[in-house]
């Protein structure tokens, strides 16, 4: 069974120093992001795929060393559209990330009511709406 990647967002930019391509996809309920940046200097270039966690933070799943693609990429000032050059690299990263996620055991969905409140959320009502005190008495 193959899970379909649905595009959620694509962003590109080009200037005389660097160009980059970012693609965000939905993969069976998981959100993946591929980011590829080609700079004039190999040390400032990168390619990685990340997954959005339940805490709404990005966690890196796979990377592709610039040594694998930087030398064959055109210099930034000669690139009219970053998509043509960097989209294939991003797609390879997303495919690799999908294979990594497919190898993980399934995680049962959590019901919001089943979550235990954290110390912060338990204290929030007292912080936001403290009990008024008069003369040191509640």
Confidence of residue 79 (pLDDT cuts 50, 70, 90): confident
**Percent of the chain residues past pLDDT 70, beyond the cut:** 75
What is the pLDDT averaged over residues 92-113? Answer: 83
**Higher model confidence: residue 68 or residue 114?**
68
Domain residue extents for the chain: 5-128
Examine the pLDDT at 129 and tell me if it is beyond 80. no
Residue written as token pair 């990168």: 46
pLDDT in tens, 21-31: 999 999 999 99
The burial of 106, by beta-carbon neighbours within 10 Å (0-12 exposed, 13-18 middle, 19 or more buried), is given as exposed
Examine the pLDDT at 1 and tell me if it is beyond 50. no
3, 27 Cβ separation under 8 angstroms: yes
């Amino acid at each position: 069974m193959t899970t379909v990647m649905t595009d959620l967002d694509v962003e590109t930019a080009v200037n005389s120093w660097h160009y980059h391509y970012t693609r965000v996809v939905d993969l069976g309920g998981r959100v993946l992001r591929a980011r590829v940046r080609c700079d004039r200097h190999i040390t400032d270039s990168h390619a990685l795929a990340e997954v959005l966690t339940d805490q709404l933070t990005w966690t890196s799943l796979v990377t592709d060393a610039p040594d694998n693609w930087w030398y064959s990429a055109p210099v930034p000032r000669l690139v009219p559209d970053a998509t043509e050059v960097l989209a294939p690299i991003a797609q390879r990263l997303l495919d690799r990330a999908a294979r990594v996620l497919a190898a993980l055991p399934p995680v049962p969905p959590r019901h919001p009511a089943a979550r235990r409140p954290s110390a912060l959320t338990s204290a929030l009502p007292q912080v936001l709406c403290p009990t008024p005190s008069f003369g040191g008495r509640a």
